[in-house]
């Protein structure tokens, strides 16, 4: 069960409710909003940051989603693992590609740019100090420096908020397999699991 009470729609700050189009969203889509809504100014700031990353995106949606899912695997954030975003599906993300993701550096369906971006996310989530000059040189083979900054900011959001979300235990709206797994005893993955498509 979620460890911090989720606000009802009626309890949400009216501006926040309007900004998130809360009346037209599913409970799953509003999970963090209903928790972070306890502090409306902070939630609005986070929405501005995340919204800016989305509106000003120069890297492919599919690539961002692949990185997000790999970070979610390392964070063991259940809602992050279960969700697929429509924009990334429209950009070519498939469940077959996600299933090849168990060993991403060996996956035939991933480009070299996708593989190095995924590795960037993995290292940020597991061993960020291993990211050295040579690694940034490898990133520059596929991305401009502005794109590397953009990718890094997306990853920072995924790592930090994903870890917080994992501790919140927001599982009520997830498929049964995500609800029943024991934290710390089972490793969940985005591959071979039922996914939920959201906007």
Lowest mean pLDDT among 3-12, 64-73, 177-186: 177-186
Q: What is the mean pLDDT of residues 151-169?
A: 97
pLDDT at residue 1 in the model: 84
> What letter does residue 85 receive in the DSSP assignment?
E
**Nearest alpha carbon to residue 20 among 88, 85, 12, 38:** 12
Q: What is the mean pLDDT of residues 41-54?
A: 97
User: pLDDT tier at 192 (50, 70, 90 boundaries)?
Assistant: low
Q: What is the mean pLDDT of residues 99-125?
A: 92
pLDDT at 184 over 80: no
Mean per-residue pLDDT of the chain: 93
pLDDT at residue 181 in the model: 80
Contacts made by residues 153-156, CB under 8 angstroms, sequence distance 24+: 153/53, 154/53, 154/64, 154/67, 154/68, 155/67, 155/71, 155/120, 155/121, 155/124, 155/125, 156/124
pLDDT at residue 193 in the model: 59
- Domain 59-198 indexed as CATH 1.20.1290.10: yes
Q: How far apart are alpha carbons 125 and 146 in whole angstroms?
A: 21
pLDDT at residue 180 in the model: 81
Query: Phi and psi at residue 92, in whole multiples of 5°?
Result: 115, 0
Query: How crowded is residue 126: how many other Cβ atoms within 10 Å of its Cβ?
Result: 12
User: pLDDT tier at 158 (50, 70, 90 boundaries)?
Assistant: very high
CATH 1.20.1290.10 domain span(s) along the chain: 59-198
pLDDT at 109 over 80: yes
Q: How far apart are alpha carbons 10 and 46 in whole angstroms?
A: 21
């Amino acid at each position: 069960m979620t460890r911090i009470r989720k606000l009802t729609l009626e309890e949400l700050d009216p501006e926040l409710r309007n900004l998130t189009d809360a009346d037209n969203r599913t409970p799953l889509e509003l999970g963090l909003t209903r928790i972070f809504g306890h502090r409306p100014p902070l939630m609005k700031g986070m929405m501005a940051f995340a919204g800016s990353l989305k509106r000003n995106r120069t890297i492919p949606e599919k690539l961002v989603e692949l990185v997000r899912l790999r970070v979610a695997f390392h964070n063991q954030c259940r809602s992050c693992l279960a969700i697929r975003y429509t924009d990334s599906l429209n950009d070519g993300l498939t469940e077959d590609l996600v299933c090849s993701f168990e060993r991403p550096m060996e996956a035939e369906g991933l480009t070299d740019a996708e593989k190095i971006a995924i590795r960037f996310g993995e290292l940020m989530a597991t061993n960020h100090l291993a990211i050295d000059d040579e690694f940034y040189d490898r990133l520059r083979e596929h991305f401009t420096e502005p794109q590397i900054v953009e990718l890094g900011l997306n990853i920072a959001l995924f790592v930090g908020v994903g870890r917080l979300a994992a501790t919140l235990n927001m599982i009520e709206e997830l498929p049964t397999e995500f609800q029943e797994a024991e934290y710390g005893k089972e490793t969940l993955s985005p591959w071979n699991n039922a996914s939920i498509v959201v906007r």
